[in-house]
Amino acid sequence: MRLEGAIFDMDGTLLDSMGIWKTLCSDLMRELGRDPEPGLDRKVQQMGLRFGAAYCRKRYALEQSEDELIELVQSRVSRFYREEAPAKPGAARFLSLLKMQGVWMYLATAMDRALAEAALRRTGLLEYFRGMLTCTEAGCGKDTPLLYEKCLTRLQCSRDQCVVFEDSLPAIRTAKSAGFRVAAVWDSASEADQPEIQRLADEYIRSYQDFFRTV
């Protein structure tokens, strides 16, 4: 079956950027005098900045507004995405191949739009996408399939002719539960989840460079 559309996650899938998120939220909560719960960083990452800030403000009874919390986080990560976050090796070539085959591509990310666009433009990946939808813009996190559904509508292709590219187990589970075909991309941040990820995924990409060695 010919592939018509592809929906890509960004962090951990196209960019080697997950390292900065491993302790970012937990470190911030400690600086604000709170004891972070186990798994907080991963939970907030799946929610996106706006929903993550709202969760932390309520969960930890913080004095800061959601906008102030977002500003604290963004000031820490802005330089990383604007100046440092690297594309995964072979990602640009992989996207170029899909584009040459006529595949329309959309980005579905939990990252703030301005930072996502800055990182993708700097790494030369932005030009391959017909558009982007963030969790904030969609009004949901990746714990529900709505983000992918909205991207699919914008791509104007059928579900069985579209593949979702993701690296994290929770997002893969969400996409699979909604009937999407999923290509899992390995990332070190999800190393412990790899057995389950490989079980669920329709396709598995250890690295984009390895992909080209096998085609």
| Tokens at 81, concatenated | 């995405």
Domain-terminating residue out of 64, 84, 104: 84
Does 72 lie in the same domain as 112?
no
pLDDT in tens, 172-185: 999 999 999 999 99
- Domain count of the fold of the chain: 2
Does 95 lie in the same domain as 63?
no
Is residue 215 pLDDT above 80, yes or no?
no
Domain-terminating residue out of 28, 51, 84: 84
Does 65 lie in the same domain as 169?
no
Does 160 lie in the same domain as 66?
no
Per the CB < 8 A criterion, the answer to whether 87 and 124 are in contact is yes
CB atoms within 10 A of CB 2: 7
Domain that includes residue 65, residue range = 19-84
Domain-terminating residue out of 84, 100, 116: 84
Does 185 lie in the same domain as 92?
yes
The DSSP call for residue 160 is G
Does 75 lie in the same domain as 114?
no
Give the closest residue to 131 by CA, choosing from 7, 47, 15.
7
Q: Per-residue confidence at 214, pLDDT binned at 50, 70, 90?
A: low
CA distances from 144 to 32, 56, 119 (A): 30, 19, 26
Q: Per-residue confidence at 22, pLDDT binned at 50, 70, 90?
A: confident
The share of the chain scoring above pLDDT 70, in percent, equals 98
Output the pLDDT for position 161: 94
Output the pLDDT for position 196: 97
Provide mean pLDDT across the span 5-20. Answer: 94
The DSSP call for residue 86 is P
Output the pLDDT for position 213: 65
Output the pLDDT for position 177: 95
CATH number at residue 144: 3.40.50.1000
Q: Give exposure, 122-150, as e/b (b: 16+ Cβ within 10 Å).
A: bbebeebbeebbbbbebebbbbebbbbeb
Output the pLDDT for position 77: 85
Per DSSP, the three-state class of 14 is coil
